Amino acid sequence: MKIYLASGNLHKQKEMAELFPEYEIIIPSQEGIAFDPEETGSSFLENSLIKAKALWDIVKQPVLADDSGICVDILEGIPGIYSARYGGKQYPKGKPNGEKTPQQEQNKSLIEQTNEAIAMGKENPVYPNNKRSCRYVCAMTLYVGPDRFYVAQETMEGSLIDNLEQARGQGGFGYDPIVILQGTDKTIAQLSAEEKNAVSHRGKAAKALYHLVKNSLHI
């Protein structure tokens, strides 16, 4: 049974294949489908639904879509839904020309912007005793038919490291090397795939939808 993934990200495809082991997870490019919907939502949930519906309209088969990112509390949620496009303090929503900032630069800029906010004495509105608190957020949509869909939104709590020299770990992708998982001394990038899937925002959201698929929808 195929489930289409509304993404071109091979890392996400690998994660979803591990979380939905009984299904063939297909990304659009594998079947020659041009897919690049405009993400016009103002939240992870809205963007997830936009992507899911856009691909379902093409394939007319079950679609998984997620929108995810990292939110730093002392920065009032920056970069949030703009995590992939984040271009530092100057371009928190991405560069005007649409050019992607290299991930290493994004990591460096996010740490520096956080450090600057701390140095200025800014208060953390969520966890006053942890100036570096952050979380990954994932809104995941399973779209199964016209106006018929299911959504799960989950988080993974953590803290940013102090400087880029502390970045560590070879697993994961994105901001994973600079985020320490809450309650541990490991960055997300130091977790095994099994460990990450058990605690990650995407893993928890996917499991909720997987149980729905298996126990209720029987897809």
pLDDT tens, 48-73? Answer: 999 999 999 999 999 999 999 999 99
What is the mean pLDDT of the segment spanning 146-172?
95
Torsion angle of alpha carbons 203, 208, 210, 214, nearest 10°?
Answer: 160
Confidence of residue 219 (pLDDT cuts 50, 70, 90): low
Instruction: Mark the binding-site residues for substrate, compressed into ranges.
Output: 7-12, 68, 173-176, 196, 201-202
Measured in whole angstroms, how far is the alpha carbon of residue 87 from the centre of its chain? Answer: 17
Instruction: Mark the binding-site residues for Mg(2+), compressed into ranges.
Output: 38, 67
For 201, the token pair is 């925002």
Instruction: Mark the binding-site residues, compressed into ranges.
Output: 7-12, 38, 67-68, 173-176, 196, 201-202
Confidence of residue 82 (pLDDT cuts 50, 70, 90): very high
Q: In the sheet where 24-26 sits, what is the strand order?
A: 24-26, 2-5, 63-72, 133-145, 148-160, 179-181
Report whether 157 contacts 182 (CB < 8 A): yes
Closest CA to 76 of 12, 122, 11, 142: 122
Closest CA to 188 of 13, 64, 48, 70: 70
Domains for the chain: give ranges and CATH numbers. 2-217 (3.90.950.10)
Q: Output the pLDDT for position 218.
A: 67
- pLDDT tens for each residue of 27-36: 999 999 999 9
Dist CA 199 CA 16 (whole Å): 14
Q: Kindly state the DSSP code that residue 122 receives in the 8-state scheme.
A: -
Q: Kindly state the DSSP code that residue 214 receives in the 8-state scheme.
A: I
What is the mean pLDDT of the segment spanning 138-161?
96
Closest CA to 97 of 106, 109, 85: 85
What is the mean pLDDT of the segment spanning 118-131?
95
Q: Output the pLDDT for position 214.
A: 81
pTM: 0.92
Catalytic residue status for 67: yes
Candidates 57, 67, 147, 185; catalytic one: 67
